Amino acid sequence: MAALSKTVVFFALLSLALAGCGGKALRWEPRVHVVRAGESLQAIAFRYGVDAQELAAWNRIDNADLIFAGQTLRLTPAPGHKPQPQAPASNGGATPVAVRPSAPAPEWTWPAEGALLARFGDATSIGQGIDIGGNRGNPVRASAGGQVVYSGSGLLGYGKLIILKHNDSYLSAYGHNNRLLVGEGESVAAGQRIGEMGVGPGDRAILHFEIRIKGKPVDPLQYLPSR
C-alpha cells in the first residue's frame, strides 16, 4: 500500500507540473556538469551546444585549461549575468542562428570527397551536421585553418572526433574517424589532412561534419561551396 501511495503522489505532482506548464511537455535539461578526468572546457561546451567563452564566464574561469575532475560547472548564466555585447555581423546568408557571430566566417572547403548521405536535421544522423560517405581510410581534411581544441573519443555518438576552433565565433567538427592525425593544441591549415574516415552508424564509412557559431550548430550546406 505504501508503494501504491507513493506512485499516486508522484503522478499527482506530475499532473500539477504539467498543468502549470499550460499542458506543454516538460523538458528536463541539465543545469550543471561535473567534470570528468580528461575533459576539456571546449569539449564540454560542444557537448551542450554552448559557447566555450560564455561557459568560462558563467563559471568565473580565467584559464580554460585549468579545470579539474570533480569540478561542477553551471551550464546556464547566473541570475543577473550580463553577456558581453556582440557586434552585428553577416552570417553569409545562412539560416539565422540564436547568436550572431562576432568574427568573420572562414572560407570553407569540403572536408572529404563523397556523396552526401545525411543533411542537417535528418533523424538518420546526429542531426546537427551532415554525413559524407566514402571508404574507410579516405582522407579527412580541415575545412578551414584553425587550432585543434579537441581530439579524442570522449563524446558519445561521435566516435573519434576532432574539433577545430577557427576564431572566437566559429568551430568545425569531424566525427567517426578511423584514425586521428592531429592532437590538441596543434595549428592546422585549410585542406590539411587531419584524420581518416571511419565507420559510423549502420556500419558504413562516413564523416560526420558540423559547423557551429558560438556553440550553436548551423547547416554546413549554407556555408560550404556548391559542388
Question: pTM for the complete prediction?
Answer: 0.76
pLDDT tier for residue 90 given thresholds of 50, 70 and 90: very low
pLDDT: which is higher, 93 or 173: 173
Determine the pLDDT at residue 54. Answer: 93
One DSSP character per residue, 22-51 reads: TTPPP-----EEEPPTT--HHHHHHHHT--
* Mean predicted confidence (pLDDT) in 156-180: 96
Total residue length of the chain: 227
The answer on pLDDT for 87 being more than 50 is no
- Choose from 3-7, 81-85, 174-178 the range with maximum mean pLDDT: 174-178
Strands 193-199, 72-74: parallel, antiparallel or unpaired by DSSP? unpaired
Determine the pLDDT at residue 22. Answer: 44
Q: Which CATH superfamily is domain 116-222 in?
A: Glucose Permease (Domain IIA) (2.70.70.10)
Q: Residue ranges per domain, the chain?
A: 29-77, 116-222
The answer on pLDDT for 84 being more than 70 is no
pLDDT tier for residue 202 given thresholds of 50, 70 and 90: confident
Please write down the HEC assignment for all residues of the chain.
CHHHHHHHHHHHHHHHHHHHCCCCCCCCCCCEEECCCCCCHHHHHHHHCCCHHHHHHHCCCCCCCCCCCCCEEECCCCCCCCCCCCCCCCCCCCCCCCCCCCCCCCCCCCCCCCCEEECCCCCCCCCCCEEEECCCCCEEECCCCEEEEEEECCCCCCCEEEEEECCCCEEEEEEEEEEECCCCCCEECCCCEEEEEEECHHHCEEEEEEEEECCEEECHHHCCCCC
Candidate from 1-5, 27-31, 145-149, 176-180 with smallest mean pLDDT:
1-5
CATH class of the domain comprising 29-77: alpha beta
Q: Residue 149, Cβ neighbours under 10 Å: how many?
A: 22
Determine the pLDDT at residue 63. Answer: 86
Q: Residue 102, Cβ neighbours under 10 Å: how many?
A: 17
Model pLDDT for residues 112-142, shown as the tens digit of each residue: 999 999 999 998 777 799 999 999 999 999 9
Spell out the alpha helix ranges (H) of the chain: 2-20, 41-48, 52-58
Q: How far apart are CA 41 and CA 150, in angstroms?
A: 10
* Three-class DSSP category at 144: coil
Candidate from 66-70, 87-91, 170-174 with smallest mean pLDDT:
87-91
